[in-house]
Structure 1
Amino acid sequence: MHLERVVDVFLELARQLYYHGSNATEIEKYISDAALAYNLEVQIASIGTVIYLTVVDKKGKSITRIERIQNTSIDFNKLEQWENLIKKMISETPPISFVRDDILILKYEQNKIIRSMPINIIAVFIASFSFSFVFKGGFFEGIASGTVGTIVYLLTMRIKNKIFKDFMAGFLLHTLIKILSLYYSINPFPTLAGAVMVFVPGLLLTNGIMEIGDRNLVSGSSKLLEAIFVLGALVMGAGISAAFWR
């Protein structure tokens, strides 16, 4: 088999796993198991936003690639499809050329899937509405939380920088809820808490802690630090808004 094509396939699989929300430990295990199925030696490290991959064939020839992942798009349904493709490689070991074809087909099919904006809006509303009850809010707090959370989600969805996005989200959430409280009798705390939960980087926190627990210290620490900064921006935005309303 052509080693360069093998490296391209493994790197593409690692890239897709990272892009759709897999953590470093899972990426490294999946790629290592796939390489083992093809009797290849592989060294892979997913560190922060960079994937390092070295593949060595039976003759000792090796190729090393480094890939930087600029952004992510968390989607567990798509992630499961990529994981299933790798599991198929491990169990059936199809020719690499067939795997390349499967990758192209899967990418084409996934690119055709257009996220429905109405579904996203409904999901954000339901999440904010539900979380407000967790924080002991009533029905009106839930409606207010869902409405404000949805509005802020739409206003900030085009912002690429995560820290600035969450800063603006925190500021706008608190500001809109304070405005609502001037006209309606609602409890601001559960209303704000419910809407805020939509913007909390839960997966980033979870992956960071899991990777540290698996001794992926550099990758886990970088993700945990990023999550802390994002959370800090969210709190700071709400805090600045609160200072304006005093």
Structure 2
Amino acid sequence: MKEKTILDTLADAARARVEENKKKKPMEVLKKEAKSLAADTGFPFEKTLAAPGISVICEVKKASPSKGLIAVDFPYLEIAQQYERAGASAISVLTEPEYFLGSDDYLREIAREVSIPVLRKDFTVDEYQIYEAKLLGASAVLLICAILSEKELGQFLKMAHSLGLSALVEAHDEEEVARALRAGARIIGVNNRNLKDFTVDVKNSVRLRALIPPEVLYVSESGIRGAEDVAVLYKNGTDAVLIGETLMRSSDKAAMLQELKRDCHE
């Protein structure tokens, strides 16, 4: 029997949470509400990532399993507005409550207050969560190859697209990149963090870039510490970087964002 990883634990917690939520609001009710919203969104998350230069997805995150509490003081709306003013391309909001201390309310309020696209960062294990994301005001959802079968990945992608939501499909290695492409991913994110032991290697994104065709948007996630990392990724053809902890720990988020993009000019 394979050893249970933190990712398995997070996926199990998400399944339990979905079952609880289904008791409060049955799937059919949620589905009907989500489908009543406009599906012809124009996919703003994809559009912003496809813009010239490197796009930065700035993350609103209170805690993580690897780092513990990141932000004791957590004025999430203010943080999101700072990101927008600083020139963020999109905002990623953690909604996982148990290990990341996230909340659906954070996403709902942030999506209402900012005009840039918002990604729901959670552990999607059930179609219920995609309908939830639509109702919360997200422009995109995260789909993680490591916790989904190829069949689920394909189904969830189609469902997200039918609702006007983009999907950031996260891969960690060659096999997962191949699965993401077979499933029809339009955006692939490579996580530089090994979720088995939490080691981080930005070269993971550099190495896997060659496997992804130019028409698929490419995002590097996790462990990006400074302008040097961003410049290396940009030169390697990365469309966007997702940055959380580095920005969350910075007292001047606008200055940090400018610094990160320092060496990325057309």
Coarse TM-score class (shorter-chain normalised): under 0.3
Q: Which is bigger in relative contact order (C-alpha 8 A, separation at least 6)? A: 2
Structure with the higher fraction of residues in helix conformation = 1
**Rg bigger for which structure?**
1
TM (norm. structure 2) is 0.24
Structure with the higher fraction of residues in strand conformation = 2
